[in-house]
Amino acid sequence: MCGIVGYIGERQVKPVLLNCLYRLEYRGYDSCGIAVLEGDLAVYKDAVRVKVLDETLPQLIGGRAGIGHTRWATHGEPSQVNAHPHCDCTGKIAVVHNGVISNFQKLRRQLASEGHNFISETDTEVIPHLIEKYYEGDLEKAVAAALREVEGSYAIVVLRADEPKLVVARKDSPLIIAIGDRENFVASDVPAILDYTSRVIYLEDDDIGVVTSDNVKVSQHGVAVARKEHKISWSVKDAQKAGYEHFMLKEIHEQPKVIRDTIGGYISATEPIASLAMAGDTGLEDMLILACGTSYHAALVGKYMMEELLRVAVRTELASEFSYCGQTSAGSRVLVITQSGETADALKAIKKLKEEGCRVIVITNVVGSTASRIADQIVYTRAGPEISVAATKSFVAQLMALYWLALPYAKIDIRRLDSLVMGLRQLPGKVQRVLDNEAVISEYAQQLSKYENVFFIGRGVNFPVALEGALKLKEISYIHAEGYAAGELKHGPFALLGSDTPVVAIVAQDNTYEAMLTNIKEVKARRSPVIALVEEGNEEVKEVADSVITVPQVDVIFSPVVNTVVLQLLAYYAAEQRGCPIDFPRNLAKSVTVE
């Protein structure tokens, strides 16, 4: 989604802003722009990629302070006028904004009646006009007065002609200030500034900051507040492609390490089980898990796994639906899974849960993210920065966190528990073996890439894997894909089966096995080609499916991990074959900061 950058210091501002914008491209955008302070303000923007902006900017742009933005259209189509930065009537005030101003129409009417001239369709444009209205020589005060009128969510950076400073503010949309040596940066997320510094301050809701090259001042409602500085452990290398064609492929290949790092952060070598338990806990009672998209699929895997191991009832809800259906009781414990920690639907759900007196445990990959700061308890995954829009390694890391949360409370005998802990430790090697089979998987992907519709089916703990396989395929290859519980196909989707609609069947060696075999036969009887994922050593499925991709043997509880990696590779190579922009699929954004 939209990205924000800002710089003030001794460097030439143009290359710094462009470099930061390149680093934000992964978030997904349709337009971009910069405003630089060269005495006056100069604004350059259009509905183009950063590279095109870079190539068309005048060579000689001076200035040591500026702001930049990548826009993901919400109000008004992608166009030059709708791109950020937006200015006031005088052209002296420029603003970049992430979020949504919900009362912008009312503000716009009112400002227009006072003589302000609007040129864009955006909600953002009211902000520079409000600042203009309240400006009496003090930019910080004018920003504060403007924001008092504004409803909705925002992270903004404001630049005014002749004033060498950046004024920043946030509410319900992330914003950081990054500290350098006689220079400072502003960004909506960390990868933007990793080339320059790893020292970061996370702004809180209602903070207003004034940033100069050698000072940062933050206040709330006019009172100065101290905000802690954090050291970011991710390196620039983590956020680069490292020789891979796409971030997605690199991130798929990082998964053995991600599993090792995430599990390593939880389990000590000497006391594996004792160190799993959360301090002071006696057990996990019935559970609610909330999430969106791929993280929701992790939640569903968690449900099947916890219900089996813990024998408790686990409810899952889409965070985006929770406002309409969520019933909780005060004091109950709720798990929220969000890779970015910034998804608007997840944050809204967390706020509702907290108002209702629930205790919220957040599983997130981003230290310092909004979700991590409002949670009662945080479980960090250690996937490193995930740049590709399609979630891969963060999903597998979420599964590790769920196993870790569940295992200490498993109502199973000690021998099974020992074998599960050992199985967890062996998972990186098993995933590596899936990756070693990449060439075979890519051949099947090439076959799939020729179709326009694909079904994925699974049962039990592999039903969510079918959903995830379908989501990955549709989002990056644009092939229409549906994930189904295998038993549900005959309740309607059978009408769509035929020789032009292949089915990917995930077959696990558990109590779902016989039923899956029957389902494959039913599908074959409707002439759909079947690609089956089966455990190594299985000969039976080869007899009924058209093709078989084998996965290493693991406890069925861990089968979602190895199966998902196969489906990620299938999606990747199908998209590659179709020439799709894999890391930045159309219309999508990495972190979805609007409802």
Catalytic residues: 2, 590
Closer residue to ligand F6R, CB minimum distance, 388 or 519: 388
Minimum CB distance to ligand F6R, residue 262 (Å) = 15
Report the residue number, 293 or 464, with the smaller CB distance to ligand F6R. 293
Contact 352, 320 (CB under 8 A): no
Q: How far is the CB of 481 from ligand F6R (least distance, A)?
A: 13
Q: How far is the CB of 294 from ligand F6R (least distance, A)?
A: 3
Tell me the C-alpha to C-alpha distance, in Å, between residue 566 and each of 82, 254, 534: 41, 14, 11
**Least Cβ distance, residue 595 to ligand F6R (angstroms):** 12
Beta carbon nearer to ligand F6R, 189 or 475: 475
CA dihedral 67→72→77→80, nearest 10 degrees, is 30
With vertex at residue 561, the alpha carbon angle to CA 557 and CA 562, rounded to the nearest 5 degrees, is: 105
CA count, 13 A, side-chain hemisphere, 423: 20
351 Cβ contact partners less than 8 Å away, ≥ 6 residues apart: 374
Query: For residue 551, what are its two tokens?
Result: 């996965």
Provide the 8-state DSSP code for 352.
H
Side chain identity, residue 392? T
- Please, what is the minimum distance in Å from the beta carbon of residue 28 to ligand F6R? 10
Task: Find the angle CA(314)-CA(317)-CA(323) to the nearest 5 degrees.
Answer: 135
130 or 570: whose CB is closer to ligand F6R? Answer: 570
CA distances in angstroms from 377 to 202, 382, 434, listed in the order given? 18, 16, 34
Q: Which two tokens stand for residue 274?
A: 């004792």
Q: Which is nearer to ligand F6R, 132 or 475 (CB)?
A: 475
Contacts 24+ apart (CB under 8 A), 552-557: 552/430, 552/433, 552/434, 553/509, 554/423, 554/426, 554/427, 554/430, 555/419, 555/420, 555/423, 556/460, 556/461, 556/508, 556/509, 556/510, 557/305, 557/308, 557/309, 557/403, 557/420, 557/423, 557/461
Cβ 1 to ligand F6R, closest distance in Å? 10
Residues that bind ligand F6R (CB under 6 A): 292-295, 338-340, 343, 346, 390-391, 471, 475, 591-592
Residue 134 or 234: which CB sits closer to ligand F6R?
A: 234
DSSP summary character for residue 501: B
Q: How far apart are the C-alpha atoms of 232 and 367, rounded to whole Å? A: 8
Report the residue number, 416 or 474, with the smaller CB distance to ligand F6R: 474
Q: What are phi and psi of 271, to 5 degrees?
A: -130, 75
Residue nearest to ligand F6R (CB): 293
Residue placing its CB nearer to ligand F6R in the complex, 387 or 497: 387
According to DSSP, the residues that pair with 501 across neighbouring strands are: 498
From the list 399, 465, 426, 431, the residue with the least C-alpha distance to 262 is 399
Measured distance CA(41)–CA(248) in Å, rounded = 38
Residue type, 229: E
Strand partners, 223: 220
Minimum CB distance to ligand F6R, residue 339 (Å): 3
Q: Report in angstroms how near the CB of residue 486 gets to ligand F6R at its nearest.
A: 22
